[in-house]
Amino acid sequence: MALVSMTVICAGCATTEQRLTVAASTTGQISAGIALPALPAECRERMPRVVPKAGEKWRWVQTRWEIVADNRDALTARCAAFYDDVAAGFGGPR
């Protein structure tokens, strides 16, 4: 009977100790937080404005606007790829 009681008591201690270890580990992870990398400066840039020049034909204004818009789309794609990599590094969804 004493042997059975000691086994139950020791098993209970191991379970409690395991739970405390897991709780301490979880608390440490929460306290550590997540250190996100710095946002690339280009991700904060605004799209440049295309201002018509005196005497410029509208088709050239449109062409310049298309170039600026294409450049902005490429920048947005780079920023999206950056954050996909960040999310993958933290095991999060893409």
- Distance of alpha carbon 55 from alpha carbon 66, whole angstroms: 19
pTM comes to: 0.52
CA distance 3 to 6: 5
Model confidence pLDDT, tens digit, residues 25-48: 777 767 666 777 777 777 888 888
Extract the tokens encoding 22.
Answer: 């897991």
Q: Which residues of the chain have pLDDT under 70?
A: 1-14, 29, 31-33, 92-94
How many of the other CB atoms lie within 10 Å of CB of 83? 16
Q: Are 37 and 85 in contact (CB under 8 A)?
A: no
